[in-house]
Amino acid sequence: MSISSPGIGSGIDIGSLITKLVAAEGSAKNNRLTLREAEYQGDISAYGSLKSALSIFQNAVKDLRTPSDFQQRSATSSNEEIFTVTADKSADIAQYGIEVVQLAQANKLITNAGFASTDVIGAGSLTFSQNGDTFTINVTATDTLSDVRDSINTDTNNTGVIASIINVDDGIGGTESKLVFTATESGLQNAITITANDDDLNDVDSLGLSRLVNANLTEPAAALDGQIKVDGQIISSFNNTFDSVIDGVSITSVSIGAGETLTVTKDKDAVTTKINTFIANYNGLVDTFNALGAFNGSAEASGLLIGDATLRGVQNAIRREISSSITGLSGNFSTLAELGITTGDDGKFSLDSDRLNTALDSNFDEVGEFFASTNGLSNKLNNVISQYAGSSGILDNRTDGLLARVDDITEQREALDRRLISLESRLLAQFTALDTLVSTLRNQSDFLTLQLANLPGSIDPNRSN
């Protein structure tokens, strides 16, 4: 078995030489692929940033796109210490006189009798009735006040009564415990009724379990409905909220009081907020346009999409819509400038708040028509943005094409790797053969030199005279 080591015959480091030759062959091609991939990845990232900015602006556009966006209502209370109010878009524009007559109250009952902590209450059952619902607990002859309390609070059929114990003076220098029953909901319908089935066969006396029925209880808080007057007409509710008195309006009583006013108006503030968001998001989009398309003195320092046709196309399409006069509207407004929204030298919106407020105060519905009608600005802008940033839109198609090119570069790298491996094997075979030949020739040279030195009359050049 022969053992070979490339380079032994020739003295050349063939392994190092082959490595350098293969690297030289592959580096130029690999560098080109790397630069191209970086360019594609940069464009993919840039299109992602552009799509994100377009989507953010589109969200603001959509908030001004439908007539219902301009049908929101604002309800105000003349005194929120007396009542508060909210309204939805179904509420009519109107004003109402409000008086809070009575606040709703939850029923509370307390035993007249006092108990020691170890006292047994009596045997039998207690039934609690409330708003048409009932539940019953069983009480044993050994149950104390705390046992009764716990049985009430843990009964799975109990949905409206909380039992608790208070410790009070007994009038003779000590303390005693009393059981308190509190309704979890206010209103007359949630008043608590307690009846007993007492084992002493008398369910209404003041002994045994009968000590816990209504006749033997004090009522520190009666069950009360909330009551208000709207334009002099009285309305009751089991709680302090009145949702069905005025369509689209919810009133909540806070304290008793008269002579107050409830006013429902068009919600100008909500629309103003949406328009301000529209302006801010557009200006953010302009910043993205500028960052991606800017020329900063050199290609390396410029925006990733400088000169890009897609960027230029969406910029021009959006600018065309915001600067055009909208036709076919019945109102007084056909341009953003008429609403106080103008474009500065930097391409960004600026707002004249006074002019917008005047437009909303005097022509609220016409402002809505300008933005939200079928032919309005918001629908026009939404269509443009969807064409570019929507699912399967222009940006998605461009990105998909770039991703395919990145995949192609990966395949080219893999093919390059295979070719370099083949080249390395071929060079190794060639240099090994050359090394073997050099070794053979060297051996033959050494042999001939030795034979010549042994001929008669030959002079050994290494022998001294």
pLDDT (tens digit per residue) in 321-343: 999 999 988 888 999 999 999 99
316 CB-contact burial (10 Å; exposed 0-12 / middle 13-18 / buried 19+): exposed
Q: What is the pLDDT of residue 130?
A: 95
Is the pLDDT reported for residue 407 higher than 90?
A: no
427 vs 308 pLDDT, higher one: 308
Is the pLDDT reported for residue 24 higher than 80?
A: no
pTM here? Answer: 0.66
Q: What is the pLDDT of residue 459?
A: 60
pLDDT category of residue 32 using cuts at 50, 70 and 90 = confident
Q: Which of 66, 177, 160, 164 is nearest to 114 (CA)?
A: 177
| Angle value at C-alpha 335, between 331 and 340, nearest 5 degrees | 100
Q: CB atoms < 10 A from the CB of 148, how many?
A: 23
User: What is the average pLDDT across 152-174?
Assistant: 94
User: What is the average pLDDT across 225-247?
Assistant: 97
Q: What is the pLDDT of residue 383?
A: 96
Which residues neighbour 436 within 8 Å (Cβ) at sequence distance 6 or greater?
4, 9
pLDDT category of residue 2 using cuts at 50, 70 and 90 = very low
pLDDT (tens digit per residue) in 36-70: 877 888 888 989 999 999 999 999 999 999 888 88
Q: What is the pLDDT of residue 299?
A: 57
pLDDT (tens digit per residue) in 255-293: 999 999 999 999 999 999 999 999 999 999 999 999 998
Q: What is the pLDDT of residue 106?
A: 98
pLDDT category of residue 412 using cuts at 50, 70 and 90 = confident
Q: How far is CA 173 from the centre of its chain?
A: 62
1 vs 126 pLDDT, higher one: 126
Contact 238, 186 (CB under 8 A): yes
Q: CB atoms < 10 A from the CB of 417, how many?
A: 12
Q: What is the pLDDT of residue 4?
A: 45
pLDDT (tens digit per residue) in 164-177: 999 999 888 889 99
pLDDT category of residue 350 using cuts at 50, 70 and 90 = very high
Question: Picking from 1-5, 81-85, 448-452, which range would have the lowest pLDDT averaged per residue?
Answer: 1-5
Which residues neighbour 35 within 8 Å (Cβ) at sequence distance 6 or greater?
none
pLDDT category of residue 463 using cuts at 50, 70 and 90 = low
Average of per-residue pLDDT values in the chain: 88
Q: What is the pLDDT of residue 29?
A: 81
Q: What is the pLDDT of residue 26?
A: 65
What is d(CA 222, CA 236) in angstroms, rounded to the nearest whole number?
Answer: 16
Q: Which residues of 232-245 are buried (b: 16+ CB within 10 A; e: fewer)?
A: eeebebbbbebeeb
pLDDT (tens digit per residue) in 116-140: 988 998 899 999 999 999 999 999 9
What is d(CA 458, CA 179) in angstroms, rounded to the nearest whole number?
Answer: 137
Q: What is the pLDDT of residue 461?
A: 57
pLDDT category of residue 11 using cuts at 50, 70 and 90 = low
